[in-house]
Amino acid sequence: MPSTALLLSQAFNGLALGTLLALVASGLTIILGTLGVLNFAHGALFMLGAYAMYVVMAHTGSWLLGLLAGGVFMLVVGVALERLLVRLFYQRPHEDQILVTFGAGIVIVEAVRAYFGGNTKSVPTPPWGQGIVRLGFLFYPTYRLELIGIVAAVLFALYLLLYRTSIGLVVRAGIEDARMVGVLGINVRRAFLAVFALGVLAAGVAGMLYAPIVSVQPDMGGSFLVEAFVVIVIGGLGSYPGAVVGGLIAGEIISLTSAFNTAYSEVMLFAVMALLLVLRPQGLFGSEGRV
Amino acid sequence: MNQSREFLSLARRQALQLGLGTAGGLLVPGLFADLARAAEAPIGTWPAGVAGDSVFVGVTSPLTGPYSADGKDHVKGYELAFAEINEGGANAKAWGLKGKGVLGKQIKYGVADSELKPNVAVQAQTQFIQRDKAIMITGCVSSAEAVAVEELAQRDHVLNMVGASGANATTGRDCQRYGFRSQPSAYMACKALAPVVAQHYGRDKKVAYLVPDYNYGHSVFRSFSEFTKPYGWTTVAKVVIPLVTSDYSSALLNIANSGADIFVNIEFAAQAVNSTKQGAQFGIFKKMQMIVPNISSFQGQETGPALMQGVFGTMDWYWKLEDKFPLSKRFVNAFRAKFHYTPAWGAHVGYIQTYIWALAVERAGTFYPPAVIKTLEASKANPFESTLGKVWYRAEDHQMIRPVPVVVANSAKQMKNKDDVFDIVDLVPGEQAVSPPAFLGCKLGPYT
């Protein structure tokens, strides 16, 4: 039995891990919920964000500039991806959408590998995030601690954009009946473009924020993609609050299981997902037949 | 019946070529040996694979995925060795090869991406065997791939010079008659390393382990904990993690809370760099010293001296061995000239395995796999001169008996240039480090 101190440490880490997972999952769920497209390139876009941060940090050393320039870059990538590829697949079956985004993901990963090589890149922690904070019995990296706040702010901004603005209203109406919204003289296609770009931006920002923590490498997105899927299945496919709560739950499952045996942390995550699929197939916040 | 007639006509054609003088003089001994074996039944890709004036070697290596940097370096080692052997220049002569190619035959080869997946490696090698009649298959950067390809080699009777693989099972429980491994096993690496670190850090240390959840990780854990036990080192945490982990926070919290003095990081390549970097964020190196039993090719450079300095470990080979072994010096020079960087040990594994195979074939005078295997098995009496000095394969389990370099990472201040990442602190003789025969449970399969 692990000590109380370790259990509490892991519970706290679960919260930190959970907010990051929520951010990774949010982009995935926004696109799925509004456009009905399961974006398999999400992991690759996460990685692309991390590389954007790496490039800017390597040249300017500024974290803030990395976030801003990287953000603009991710929006451009999102717009290009939607206009040139994904848009053509809105009316196609889900399998086609999965295949085309999966393929796009492979192309992005291999393009990055061809340009930057397969070696890991190191992104320095910004000066204000260096060091370790002592929280009673627990020592925790300063940057990870600050990330909890940063991620919470990003998630809240996304929430306001989706639920408290007219764009969000159009988007949500568009999912219900795109044709009707069109008849009302509203450009649904442009709203869809905005949503896709926003989802890509969320993936990219998650990658940028994660870059100083992990080592940046072309395949880094793979495991995050898998975990993001689990998160949105738990939270409910396409549900934004579901992604946030699902992320926190997933973070706690991984962390608390680790206190006993790290080897089972992922197994436990999948076990909970399977159990949930049996008891509540639509997930915690999902509504039946939404996607 | 049909096959043997085909082979006879093949032999006649070769003899005719010989009569016409198209074959070089150096081809003669090999050709006669292969002719003399006309009585042997065909096996694997022999003799079909040696009928022409070239032979084919199938290379698989992870060119994508977390081990891709090591995998690409690994392939370059093969490419250099193939080019040198085909050319028959000064380096090939220095190794003791005669003429151009192996037994006068040029080496052709194919490289396939294994994606670090055993089934993909097996699929690609199967294609090399069936389509290209590969006479030898080789390459990998993980023990999972190694063991899978070895099994294929045994089944299809095609010689397999194993690539980079450190798990004990490769020449232990999963060993094969057709598989030969040059890299030190986890057992050898840890046995060589234990006395060095025990002397440096002292007795009675508490140790925390980060163990990737596959064959290699568990091998290294078992071996390291066993060989440090005599010095009073005890395990206070064994943190097993899934093979693809990105965020180590929960694992590292366990280690940070373990009260250990020593942190043994068994992660490899990109995963090793990632876990070390995150370990530093959790303040682990303020409390513990890191040891990496098997340091991957680019781990030193990628992690950087700030975190690596003072870290002990072993590796298959390090470029500074050029001061000790003339063939290593030749290898480093040729590699730098061709690829414009200093080779890492992944490249060395490809390079030495190719040369040893070529030498064994020429020594046997034939590509006939059972004869080459027996030549390698008998190499103790007549060791090969190599980049690691005199080396030989043990007949009982096909582990190469070779010195194990124990290294320590330099600090930024100690580094004379960007390649000066490690110093070799000890070169432990292979006989001293290797397990007793059959200790790891090896039962080699049949020759035919």
**Angle at CA of residue A121, ends B112 and B410, nearest 5°:** 100
Question: Is B194 found in the same domain as B147?
Answer: no
DSSP A177-226: -HHHHHHTT--HHHHHHHHHHHHHHHHHHHHHHHTTTSPB-TTTHHHHHH
Give B-chain residues touching A140 at CB under 8 angstroms: 282
The answer to whether residue B441 sits within a structural domain is: no
pLDDT of res. B334: 98
DSSP 8-state secondary structure symbol assigned to residue A164: S
**What's the structural domain count of chain B?**
2
Q: Which of B360, B378, B401 is the last residue of a domain?
A: B401
The answer to whether residue B215 sits within a structural domain is: yes
The answer to whether residue B445 sits within a structural domain is: no
Question: Is B194 found in the same domain as B158?
Answer: no
* Distance of residue A223 Cα from the nearest chain B Cα, in angstroms: 7
* Residues A234, A272: Cα–Cα separation, whole Å: 8
Flag if B240 and A261 touch (Cβ within 8 Å): yes
Ranges of residues in chain B whose predicted pLDDT is under 50: 1-30
The answer to whether residue B439 sits within a structural domain is: no
- Cβ contacts from A onto B, under 8 A: 110
Question: Is B180 found in the same domain as B60?
Answer: yes
The answer to whether residue B288 sits within a structural domain is: yes
- SS3 state of residue B103: coil
Whether A25 shows a pLDDT value over 70: the answer reads yes
pLDDT of res. B21: 44
CATH number (domain holding residue B296): 3.40.50.2300
| B306 interfacial to chain A (CB closer than 8 Å) | no
Bridge partners (DSSP) listed for residue B161: B138, B180
Flag if B283 and A139 touch (Cβ within 8 Å): yes
Question: Is B268 found in the same domain as B245?
Answer: yes
Question: Is B162 found in the same domain as B27?
Answer: yes
Domain boundaries, chain A: 26-219
pLDDT of res. A30: 87
pLDDT of res. A288: 62
Question: Is B417 found in the same domain as B397?
Answer: no
Question: Is B303 found in the same domain as B162?
Answer: no
The answer to whether residue B440 sits within a structural domain is: no
Question: Is B107 found in the same domain as B47?
Answer: yes
User: Would you say the C-alpha torsion B182, B390, B72, B272 has a positive or negative sign?
Assistant: positive
The answer to whether residue B410 sits within a structural domain is: yes
* Distance of residue B387 Cα from the nearest chain A Cα, in angstroms: 26
Question: Is B163 found in the same domain as B28?
Answer: yes
pLDDT of res. B270: 86
For residue B192, give its domain range. Answer: 187-315+404-433
Flag if A259 and B278 touch (Cβ within 8 Å): no
Instruction: Report which of residues A21 and B34 the model is more confident about.
Output: A21
Instruction: Report which of residues B32 and A253 the model is more confident about.
Output: A253
φ/ψ of A144, rounded to 5, equals -65, -35
Contact B389, B403 (CB under 8 A): yes
Give A-chain residues touching B256 at CB under 8 angstroms: 139
Cβ-nearest to B270 among A144, A217, A261:
A217
Question: Is B12 found in the same domain as B112?
Answer: yes
Closest alpha carbon to A196 in A35, A21, A26, A25:
A35
Cβ-nearest to B66 among A125, A219, A258:
A219
Question: Is B268 found in the same domain as B160?
Answer: no
The answer to whether residue B442 sits within a structural domain is: no
Provide the percentage of residues in chain A whose pLDDT is more than 90.
60
Looking at this protein, which amino acid is placed at residue B269? Answer: A
Flag if A141 and B251 touch (Cβ within 8 Å): no
Question: Is B35 found in the same domain as B161?
Answer: yes
* Residues A289, A28: Cα–Cα separation, whole Å: 18
Question: Quick one: which H or E segment has residue B255?
Answer: helix B249-256
φ/ψ of B348, rounded to 5, equals -60, -40
* Residues A261, A255: Cα–Cα separation, whole Å: 10
pLDDT of res. A135: 82
Flag if A118 and B72 touch (Cβ within 8 Å): yes
Q: Which of B377, B401, B425 is the last residue of a domain?
A: B401
User: Could you report the predicted ipTM of this complex, rounded to two decimals?
Assistant: 0.83
Contact A237, A291 (CB under 8 A): yes
Query: Rounded to two decimals, what is the model's pTM?
Result: 0.85
pLDDT of res. A131: 87
Give B-chain residues touching A123 at CB under 8 angstroms: none
